[in-house]
Amino acid sequence: MITAKGKSILKGIAIGKIKFLAKKQAEIKENAADPAAELKRYEDARALASEQLQALYDKAALEAGEEHAAIFEIHMMMLEDDDYVEAITELINSDGKTAEFAVKTTGENFAETFASMDDEYMKARAADVRDISGRMVNILTGADTGPADSDEPFIIVAEDLAPSETVQLDKSKLLGFVTRLGSTNSHTAILARNMNIPALIGTEISEDWDGRMAIIDGYNSCIYIDPTEELLRTLDEKRVRDLEQRAMLQQLKGQPNVTLDGRTINLYANIGNVSDVGMVLDNDAGGIGLFRSEFIYLHSATFPTEDEQFAIYKKVAEMMGGKKVIIRTLDIGADKQADYFNLPKEENPALGYRAIRICLMQHDIFKAQIRAILRAAAYGKVSIMFPMIISVSEVKQAKAILEECRKELLAEGKEIGEVEIGIMIETPAAVMVADELAEEVEFFSIGTNDLTQYTLAIDRQNPKLDPFYDSHHPAVLRLIEMTVQAGHRHNCWVGICGELGADPTLTETFLRMGLDELSVNPGGILSLRKIIRETDLGGGKAAATPAEQEEKPAETPEPESVEQTKKKKFSLFGKGKK
């Protein structure tokens, strides 16, 4: 038996025969006699590549959700990039190169340029350029682009897998995959998690494994080649138990999110577009706690109009049938860029011109979105949430623009609805003035991804800093607890919509803090519901909150209950409740 270690993308067990994906090198001729003919070949290949990418987008959206399918829209945009196209056509027309040589050379040059950049997000684009260039080269040369069809389920082993290759694999036959290269934060890894495929990366592999029986053990981050009968039996039992547990989770649909001692919490879902709503409903979420509206902008070649946005928001509100839908206003910038915004290059984009800062500076963009949200609110229970807030003045400005839009729409005779107003708590600054902020809004939603980044002064896009990145850092948990307490002092409900909300090791802690809501990826709803329903906060079994972990003098009174806290009308800074 051979054992090889790696990094696990998804905890789970996969058992089956290995299909080694050995990518064939395309035969590429360098020079061509007829540039016009080569240019025609290139144009035809680009058109076919675009069709293939659209099909991949549709497949990924169905299997993993619109948000995670967005990579293929980015690939389609890259195909039409002026600089990329010009570099290829120049090699064909001026240098007399074949279409495949021009595409391959241009792809390599662009990939090297991206890879040499300091920004980690831009570095990651190198893989995307290689993917689309490789696709066109394969079309032009007729090279094999994937594994042969198989009559039986298989485990893919490969040097690496591009997002397009991952989606093309027959999910009904794919048991899991193992690669030597890759990153836990790559698009391929994200797609694998959302497609619920056990996978390992960073594993030393061998072509000799092809056709041999293997087990991917996602719990122990390894793959066993030619496992013993005993190990095979043991891990197959574990696999069956996993499937049974998933089936049991389905029985929790329709059940309340209530602890054994009667504490209730709302479980909502995060989405990126209309196509994600099906997963929200299928997993029995109580509402949508985060509609990432920026994906509407990222999927568009120009600024989406008010009517285009209204149609999307209206459809989501109607599909949710009266359940809460919280729409986060435009959160573009930093690692989320759209060319038509013409945002300036910044040394520290995470600290730069982004989110609410753009909206408060460019009212035309902001008002189009707010008007669309107000109109959609006539068709469901819609809330609006402003991101990256750091001061009361920003909230007041946003609310003033909201009121301006409301009056305009009424004057125009447009039908609108009432919206609940909330903000994202994503910076230590927002936490420190949370009492004042809570007087201006009806809810807080804590964005733990950015809150962790800004609290620890660590760029979450930089993999070199992974050893220092600790989302469970006491400072982060203490800031979350402070936010909950401040919100409740002013009758402002508080939720979490960042990655920490789905962390099962923190569910009890969040319940004890008094959080009112957790919003997670749709697939995490039922597993969190199970944890909540098995938790007993009254028996003293739950983990202490950060504040309770601190050593207190003997005379310190018992902590007040959440209900007592909610009833208080004062602020720590002496300002009365409005």
70 is written with which tokens?
A: 């967005």
Burial of 241 (0-12, 13-18, 19+ CB in 10 A): exposed
What is the rounded CA–CA span in Å between residue 19 and residue 235? 20
Calculate ∠ Cα 139-145-148, nearest 5°. 135
Active site residue 299: no
Question: CB–CB of 424/270 below 8 Å?
Answer: no
Question: CB–CB of 270/497 below 8 Å?
Answer: yes
Question: Which one from 359, 405, 492, 497 is the annotated catalytic residue?
Answer: 497
Query: What are the φ and ψ backbone dihedral angles of 327, each rounded to 5 degrees?
Result: -100, 120
What is the rounded CA–CA span in Å between residue 340 and residue 343? 8
Q: Please state, as a whole number, how many other Cβ atoms lie within 10 Å of the Cβ of residue 508.
A: 21
Instruction: Specify the DSSP element, H or E, that contains 439.
Output: none
The three-class DSSP label of residue 286 is coil
Q: Give the full edge-to-edge strand order of the sheet including 222-225.
A: 2-5, 222-225, 213-217, 13-21, 154-158, 174-179, 199-201, 7-8
What is the rounded CA–CA span in Å between residue 337 and residue 316? 24
Best CA proximity match to 387, nearest among 316, 454, 455, 447: 447
Active site residue 187: yes
What is the rounded CA–CA span in Å between residue 453 and residue 426? 9
> Tokens 């409900």 belong to which residue?
493
**Chain CA centroid to CA 116, Å:** 26
DSSP label at residue 463:
G
Question: Which one from 68, 187, 299, 488 is the annotated catalytic residue?
Answer: 187
The three-class DSSP label of residue 126 is helix
> Tokens 């300091």 belong to which residue?
118
482 is written with which tokens?
A: 């402070």
What is the rounded CA–CA span in Å between residue 171 and residue 59? 11
103 is written with which tokens?
A: 């595409």
Question: CB–CB of 50/76 below 8 Å?
Answer: yes
The residues carrying an active-site annotation are: 187, 497
